[in-house]
Amino acid sequence: MVNDHVRRLGLVLGDQLSFDLSLFDELDPAHDALLMAEVREEASYVPHHPHKIVLVFSAMRHFAAALEARGWRVIYVRLDAVDNSGSLAGELRRWHAALGEPALHLTECGEWRVEESLRSTGLPLTWHADRRFLCSREAFAKWAGNRRQLRMELFYREMRKRTGLLLEPDGQPLGGSWNFDADNRKALPKGARGPFPARFGQDAITREVVALVGERFAGHYGRLEGFDYPVTHDEAQALWQHFLEFALPSFGDYQDAMAEGEPYLFHARISAALNIGLLDLRQLCADVENAHRRDRVPLNAAEGFIRQLIGWREYVRGIYWLRMPEYAALNAFGNRRSLPAFYWTGRTDMRCMAQAIGQTLELGYAHHIQRLMVTGNFALLAGIAPAAICEWYLAVYLDAFEWVELPNTLGMVMHADGGYLGSKPYCASGRYIQRMSDHCTNCRYNVERATEDDACPFNALYWHFLMRHRDRLGGNPRLAMVYRNLQRMADARVEALWQRGERLLAQLDAGEAL
């Protein structure tokens, strides 16, 4: 590398692949350079799904080429470069020295771990806010103030007012309500299917990365073959247009539905592209609002989608940066149980779990209800240690970066923050899964039963969870009805449910699959 006149060096991370970073306004292609590095530490600090590593490396290589085409000088370090130090901090140090100590510019990191490791280099760093998000870390902290508990709904209303999305001219919400969540829960009609999914072929860059990942990360769980996800801005745009046209109109109704052999249904599948910078949040929201105003999609679909983006997504990011690093260690229920091996193999007779885990290992994708109410619900009911289940979610999903994964898993799924982020745990019996899917009809377990050996494990585990956490949850008004039902149960029934729950947990502790 020629050390010619680099005044400033900008670091671009693998989830910062956006031309709109403020870094690009600040730096000057004539005198400054950009650094991008594929490093072993980022690819293996959890055992990422092979598709996730392929996505990040391939998208990084495509983005570097696009930056060069725009006149930027990009120092691109490949994973297999002989002098690759293996970490982002190591590469920053190395290039800072090699280029004659240029000023260093960075965009706020997504993950606390990475930001901490870069700060601890002791190098003089100039930080830039990540303006891909609507709510800055500081603005969120101000909103949160000294509240002991936060609620997404209040934050979301503020964001609707701030952005003006889906508002009447007088500032009131379109359709007379801020939230159409209750219209997002239809079960799928029998035989209904989602649209044919958009697929993207592998070009030479992606094929090279696939070979590299196969060679270097062979021990990671999940399938390497079949990668078909967008790796450029244009491809991500095509995925988005496909969703707008074919899936968004039904997204609202069937947001919570699950079906055999339908990994995507009416979901957009854009979260990974958005999280690494291939799509722009503001454009997505504007497109959805326009589609609604032109009568192409119903309000429950438009509002449900926009709520996820400007409500939930911004809210969990705010919480992450407000509460890290102590948030990651919270464990309100004191869970200690190891993650069952079937999370890494999909080998379980529980049909819903096998389907959700199976598609996760194949595609690096499951939609939010599969994550929350199937794999997440099971981990909650079974008392899995939060750190173990958080690591799993972070590793297996293409879109999982800790800022979004941790509050969703530790807070929403596991209620391990004691109710800071959500007002109640999303615990449910097999009945919920039966209502929202067709899995139970193909399952060897009987969802109508709870205490027998062939009974759906979710049923007894649900009651066992409520019984063992009665002290903490019994006073929660949102669980008052279920605790009343428990109160009314005959003693023999309560005892049978407890015993069946104990047997199931003992099976897990013995390393047996269910």
Output the smallest distance, CB 135 to ligand DLZ, in A: 17
| Binding flag, residue 405, ligand DLZ (CB under 6 A) | no
Residue 178 or 227 with smaller CB distance to ligand DLZ: 227
The closest of 512, 507, 505, 514 to 336, measured between CA atoms, is 505
Judged by CB under 6 A, which stretch of 105-113, 258-266, 456-464, 490-498 contacts ligand DLZ?
105-113
Q: What are phi and psi of 177, to 5 degrees?
A: -145, 145
How far is 64 from 295, CA to CA, in rounded Å?
39
The phi-psi region of residue 30 (left if phi > 0; otherwise alpha if psi is between -120 and 50; otherwise beta) is alpha
Residue 220 or 500 with smaller CB distance to ligand DLZ: 220
Q: Between residue 476 and residue 505, which ones bind ligand DLZ under the rule CB under 6 A?
A: none
Q: Which of 10, 14, 222, 422 binds ligand DLZ (CB under 6 A)?
A: 14
Q: Between residue 15 and residue 74, which ones bind ligand DLZ under the rule CB under 6 A?
A: 15, 37-39, 42-43, 48, 53, 56
**Exposed, middle or buried, 181 (CB in 10 Å: 0-12/13-18/19+)?**
middle
Sheet containing 8-11: which strands, arranged edge to edge? 73-77, 33-37, 8-11, 103-107, 125-128
- How is 108-139 classified by DSSP, letter by letter? --SSHHHHHHHHTT---EEEE--TTSSS-HHH
How far is 280 from 283, CA to CA, in rounded Å?
5
**Exposed, middle or buried, 170 (CB in 10 Å: 0-12/13-18/19+)?**
exposed
Judged by CB under 6 A, which stretch of 17-25, 106-114, 259-267, 410-418 contacts ligand DLZ?
106-114
The closest of 12, 6, 36, 14 to 24, measured between CA atoms, is 12
Q: Which residues pair with 128 in a beta bridge?
A: 107
Judged by CB under 6 A, which stretch of 8-16, 142-150, 189-197, 293-301 contacts ligand DLZ?
8-16
Residue 166 or 404 with smaller CB distance to ligand DLZ: 404
| Binding flag, residue 91, ligand DLZ (CB under 6 A) | no
How far is 391 from 48, CA to CA, in rounded Å?
10
Output the smallest distance, CB 223 to ligand DLZ, in A: 17
Residue 91 or 438 with smaller CB distance to ligand DLZ: 91
Output the smallest distance, CB 47 to ligand DLZ, in A: 11
Judged by CB under 6 A, which stretch of 104-112, 145-153, 236-244, 424-432 contacts ligand DLZ?
104-112
Judged by CB under 6 A, which stretch of 99-107, 110-118, 423-431, 489-497 contacts ligand DLZ?
110-118
Output the smallest distance, CB 513 to ligand DLZ, in A: 30
Output the smallest distance, CB 338 to ligand DLZ, in A: 25
Count residues binding ligand DLZ (CB under 6 A).
17
3 state SS of 386? helix
Residue 38 or 314 with smaller CB distance to ligand DLZ: 38
How far is 76 from 79, CA to CA, in rounded Å?
10
Output the smallest distance, CB 13 to ligand DLZ, in A: 3
| Binding flag, residue 427, ligand DLZ (CB under 6 A) | no
**Exposed, middle or buried, 202 (CB in 10 Å: 0-12/13-18/19+)?**
middle
Q: Which of 13, 75, 272, 356 binds ligand DLZ (CB under 6 A)?
A: 13
Q: Among the residues of 365-406, which ranges form H helices?
A: 368-369, 377-382, 386-396, 402-406
Output the smallest distance, CB 19 to ligand DLZ, in A: 17
Output the smallest distance, CB 26 to ligand DLZ, in A: 19
| Binding flag, residue 109, ligand DLZ (CB under 6 A) | yes
| Binding flag, residue 88, ligand DLZ (CB under 6 A) | yes
Output the smallest distance, CB 392 to ligand DLZ, in A: 16
Output the smallest distance, CB 121 to ligand DLZ, in A: 15
Output the smallest distance, CB 483 to ligand DLZ, in A: 40
Helices (H) and strands (E) in the chain, counts: 25, 5
Output the smallest distance, CB 113 to ligand DLZ, in A: 7
| Binding flag, residue 401, ligand DLZ (CB under 6 A) | yes
3 state SS of 76? strand
Residue 17 or 302 with smaller CB distance to ligand DLZ: 17
Output the smallest distance, CB 16 to ligand DLZ, in A: 7
The closest of 35, 39, 37, 41 to 6, measured between CA atoms, is 35
Judged by CB under 6 A, which stretch of 11-19, 264-272, 304-312, 427-435 contacts ligand DLZ?
11-19
Amino acid (one-letter) located at 290: N
The closest of 459, 163, 140 to 323, measured between CA atoms, is 140
Q: Between residue 154 and residue 193, which ones bind ligand DLZ under the rule CB under 6 A?
A: none
How far is 248 from 300, CA to CA, in rounded Å?
10
| Binding flag, residue 130, ligand DLZ (CB under 6 A) | no
Judged by CB under 6 A, which stretch of 18-26, 107-115, 323-331, 405-413 contacts ligand DLZ?
107-115
Distances (CA, A) of 147 to 152, 388, 413: 13, 29, 21
Q: Which of 67, 106, 111, 429 binds ligand DLZ (CB under 6 A)?
A: 111
Contacts of residue 87, Cβ cutoff 8 Å, sequence gap at least 6 = 39, 40, 41, 42, 117
Structural tokens at position 363: 């595609």
Residue ranges binding ligand DLZ (CB under 6 A): 13-15, 37-39, 42-43, 48, 53, 56, 88, 109-111, 114, 401
